[in-house]
Chain A
Amino acid sequence: MWDELQFALILTVSGLSIGLMYALIALGFVLVYKATDAINFAQGEFVMLAGFVAAIALAGKLGVLGAVAAAVLVMVLFSFALERVVLRPLLGRPIVAVIMATIGLGAMLRGLPPITVGGETRAVTLPIGDTPIEFGPISLPPVQVLGVVVTLLFLAIFTWFFLKSRMGVAMRAVADNQQVAMAMGINVERYFALAWAMAGTVSALGGVIWGSMLGVDVQLSLVGLKVFPVVILGGLDSIVGAVIGGLIVGVVESLAAGYLDPYVGGGTKDFAPYVLMILMLMFKPYGMFGTHRIERV
C-alpha cells in the first residue's frame, strides 16, 4: 500500500518536473504568438539549434556561462533574421501559410547540422553532476531540478514584465491592436524584435537544459512536438497557461505511462495528452487561459 502510494507520488513529482521543462519550450512559443501572432512550428528545431551552439561552445572550452551566453546570442540574432526575412512578408496571410513556413524552416534547420558540423550526438555536460538529489522518497536528477528553477524564474520574470513594466505593457498593446499601438507612438517593429529576442533567450536555455538531458543531435528537435498539447491546453497566448498546461501534460504522461501502459502494451503516454487536449478543445476552444477570438464576418 505504502509502496503504491510512493510510486504514485514519485510519478507525479517526476511528471511535474518534466512538465515544467515542457513549459520552458512552450514559453518560447507563447511569447512569439502573444506579441506577434506568428505560430512557430519549428520551436523544437530552435531548441536543437541552441543545443548545438552550446555543445560546440562547450567543446571549444568556453565554459558553461560562455556556452549559455553564446547560445542566447545566436538564438537572438537568428530570431531577428527570421522575423525580417520570413515572417514580415507573410503578415496577413492565411494561417496555413505561416504554419508551413515554419515547418519549412524546421526542415532546413534539421538538414543543416549534418552538412556543416556533423550529425553525431554531442553531450552538454553541466557542472552539476549526475547523482540524483533526494527529497525524501523522491530523487530527481540535478539537471531536472535546474530546469524547474529556470522555468519558475522565467515565469516570475515574464509575469512581472507583462504586468508591471512599461515595455511589457507596450508589448501587450501591440498584440492587442497593432494599428492603435502605432497611433499611440509605440514602435511596433522594435517590440516584435524584442518579443522574438525573448523567445530566443528562452529557447537557448531550453536547448542547454534539454541538450544536457538528452544529448544534442538532430533528433533533439522532436521535443518540439510536445509543445502543442501544452499550449493548446493552456491557451496559445497565455504565459501562465503555458506553465499550467505543461504541468498537466507532464503529470498526465507520467501517470499514463505508469498505470495505463502495462495494460495496453505501451505508448499511451504519447497520445494521452492529445486526447485530453481534444476534450478540452470541445469545451473551451481557446484553451484554459487563452483569449477568445471574435470573428467578424
Chain B
Amino acid sequence: MLHRESGVFKTSYAADMALYPLPIARATIAAIVLLFAVVLPLVFDEYYLAIINLVLIAVVGALGLNILVGYTGQISVGHAAFMSVGAYTAANLAVKLGLPFWITLPAGGLMAALIGAIVGIPSLRIKGLYLAIATLAGQLIIEWIINHTPAISGGAQASIEVPRPELFGHQMRTQGQLYFFLLFFAALATLASLNIVRSRIGRAFVAIRDQDIAAEIIGINIYRYKLLSFAISSFYAGVCGVLYTYYLGIANYEQFQIGVSIDYLAMIIIGGLGSILGSILGAIFVTMLPIVLRLLMEPVLSMFYNSGEMSAVISSFRLVLFGGLIIFFLVIEPEGLNRLWRNIRNYFRVWPFSY
C-alpha cells in the first residue's frame, strides 16, 4: 500500500514472496479487515448494506472475468451464462435434494467450470473478435437450453425459489446476516485470485496473453492453460450466480442475460484489465454508479421534473454516462482505475522525496 519500504530487510525466500511482506502492511490489512467485519455492519443500515451486498456479489464475478480476459487475454462475452449455470445447479440441488449451501455452492461452481471449459474449446482454434462472438453464441445457447428444459429451469416460469442459507440452524435473512455470508466468499475469492496470479498458473496465463505462440514454443501447454483459464473463470462466475441466488432467494434466468455479461466486461475495463484490485474497484464503480448518480441528480432535477420523468431522465443519463465512461477510460486511461490508484500510491510511496 502506501507504506515506506525502507528499513525492512527480508531474510528468507518465503518472506520475500509473501503476500504482504511489510509488517506495517499486515497491520493495515488487519485494520481493514476489522473495518469490514465489524464496523461497517454496525454503522450502516439495511438499505446501504443491501447495496454493499450487491457489490460483494459483483466482486466475485468480476474477479473471475478478469482472470480470463485480463490475465489470459481471451475475450468472453458469456460470463452471465455461466452464472446462470451455477445458479440453477445450486437451486436444483437445494430444492430437490435439500443440500445445504456449503455443498451447493462448490457444486454450482464446478458445474459452471465444466460448462465453461466446453465453451472455451473454440479458443484453442480462434482468437480475438471471433472468440468473442463464439462466446456470445455460447451465452445464447446456454440461455436457450436452460429456458427450454423444465428439468433444469423448474417449469415454464424458469425460476426456482431457494430457501435462505442456514448456518448452525440460523437462517440468514436480514441484510446484515447476508452481508457476513457474502463478505466471507468475496474475501475468499480475492485471496484465491491473488494467489493464482502469483503462481505458476498465473504466469502461464500472462504468457499466453502476451504472445501465445512464443509461449507454446517455450513449452507451456497453451491448450491446457486456456481451458483451465476458462474453467477457473467460470467457477467464479458459477459461485457468483449461486451467491446471487441465495441473496435474492430465487434463481431466474432473466437475471443472467447478455446485458449482465456486458456489465461485467465494463467492470473489468473500467477497473483495469489484469489486476485484482482493478476488478474490485470496477465492480464497486459499476454497481454503485446508478445509485450514486440518482442520489446526486435527484435533488437537482426535482426542481425541473416530477418524480416520474426524473426517473426516466436519470436512467437514460446513466446509460449515456456508462457508455461515455467506458470510452473515456479506454481512450484516456486504458489501464483503468487500477492505474489511477497506482499513480496515487507511487506518489505517496516516496513522498516527499519524489526525486
Contact = CB atoms under 8 A, between A and B. Distances in A.
Q: Do chains A and B touch in the complex (CB under 8 A)?
A: yes
Contact of B126 (A96, A97, A281): A281
B213 A101 contact: no
A191 B100 CA distance: 63
B137 interface: yes
Contact of A275 (B125, B129, B141): B141
A228 B125 contact: no
B266 A100 contact: yes
Contacts of A3: none
Contacts of B23: none
Contact of B214 (A93, A266, A270, A297): A297
Contacts of B321: 111
By secondary structure, the A interface counts as helix
Interface string B121-164: 01001101110111011001100100110000000000000000
Contacts of B217: 297
Most A CB contacts (10 A, CB to CB) among B125, B134, B313, B318 go to: B134
A21 B132 CA distance: 24
A105 interface: yes
B99 interface: no
Given A96-B75, A271-B140, A297-B214, A111 B132 contact: no
B331 A86 contact: yes
A108 B319 contact: yes
A248 B44 CA distance: 57
Interface string A109-147: 111111100010000000000000000000000000000
A260 to B, nearest CB: 12
A108 B320 contact: yes
Nearest to B140: A271
Given A111-B316, A115-B313, A100 B265 contact: yes
Most B CB contacts (10 A, CB to CB) among A105, A109, A236, A281 go to: A281
B316 A90 contact: no
Contacts of A109: 323
Given A281-B122, A297-B211, A93 B334 contact: yes
Contact of A95 (B75, B148, B214): B75
A114 B312 CA distance: 7
A232 B330 contact: no
Contacts of B141: 271, 274-275
A4 interface: no
Given A111-B319, A281-B126, A274 B136 contact: yes
Most A CB contacts (10 A, CB to CB) among B136, B137, B269, B322 go to: B137
Contacts of A111: 315-323
Interface in A22-65: 39
Interface string B190-211: 0000000000000000000001
Contacts of A282: 122, 125
A73 interface: no
A112 B316 contact: yes
A89 B134 contact: no
A90 B330 contact: yes
Contacts of B324: 104, 108
A9 interface: no
B130 A86 contact: no
Interface string B100-126: 000000000000000000000010011
Given A115-B313, A265-B148, A267-B144, A95 B129 contact: yes
Nearest to A277: B137
Contacts of A108: 319-320, 322-324, 327
B178 interface: no
Nearest to A228: B133
B233 to A, nearest CB: 14
Nearest to B327: A104
A154 to B, nearest CB: 23
A285 interface: yes
Contacts of A100: 265-266, 269, 326, 330
B218 to A, nearest CB: 11
Contacts of B129: 39, 95, 99, 236
13 contacts: A86-B331, A95-B75, A95-B129, A104-B326, A104-B330, A111-B317, A111-B320, A112-B316, A114-B315, A268-B144, A271-B137, A285-B130, A297-B217
Give the 9 A-B residue pairs with the shortest CB-CB distance, closest first: A111-B319, A104-B326, A107-B323, A108-B323, A274-B137, A111-B320, A104-B323, A114-B316, A115-B316
Given A100-B326, A101-B326, A101-B330, 20 more contacts: A89-B331, A94-B73, A95-B129, A97-B330, A100-B266, A103-B265, A104-B325, A104-B326, A105-B327, A109-B323, A111-B319, A115-B313, A228-B136, A264-B148, A266-B148, A274-B136, A275-B141, A281-B122, A285-B125, A295-B213
